[in-house]
Amino acid sequence: MPDISYYELDTLDAEGRAALMRRSEADLSGFIDKVQPIIKAVRSEGDAALVRFARDFDKSQVEVDGLKASEAEFDAAFDKVDEEVIEAIRFGIDNIRRFHEEQKPEAMWLKEMRLGAYAGDRFTPIRSVALYIPRGKGAFPSVTMMTAVPAVVAGVPELAIVTPPAPDGSVDAATLVAARLSGVETVYKCGGAQAVAAVAYGTETVNKALKIVGPGSPWVVAAKRLLAGVIDPGLPAGPSESIIFADDTVKGGLAALDLLIEAEHGPDSSAWLVTHSRRVAEEALAALPDHWVRMSEQRVEFSEAVLSGPYGGIVLTPSLEESYRFVNDYAPEHLEILSTDPFAHLGHITEASEILMGPHTPVSIANFGLGPNAVLPTSRWARTFGPLSVGDFVKRSSIGYVTASAYPEFAKHARTLARYEGFSAHEHAVSDVRKTYL
Catalytic residues: 333-334
Closest CA to 270 of 337, 315, 223: 315
414 Cβ neighbours under 8 A, 6+ residues apart: 426, 427, 430
Q: Which helix (H) or strand (E) holds 73?
A: helix 71-80
- Helix and strand numbers, DSSP H then E, in the chain: 17, 13
Q: In what order do the strands lie in the sheet with 334-338?
A: 6-8, 312-316, 270-275, 241-246, 334-338, 354-357
What are phi and psi for residue 59, nearest 5 degrees? 55, 35
Residue 391: count other Cβ atoms within 10 Å of its Cβ.
17
Q: Which helix (H) or strand (E) holds 146?
A: helix 141-154
CA–CA separation, 388 vs 63, rounded Å? 33
Measure Cα distances from 20 to 16, 322, 354 in Å: 7, 14, 20
**Residue 210 and residue 129 in contact, taking contact as beta carbons nearer than 8 Å:** yes
CA–CA separation, 210 vs 195, rounded Å? 14
Measure Cα distances from 161 to 6, 377, 433 in Å: 40, 20, 54
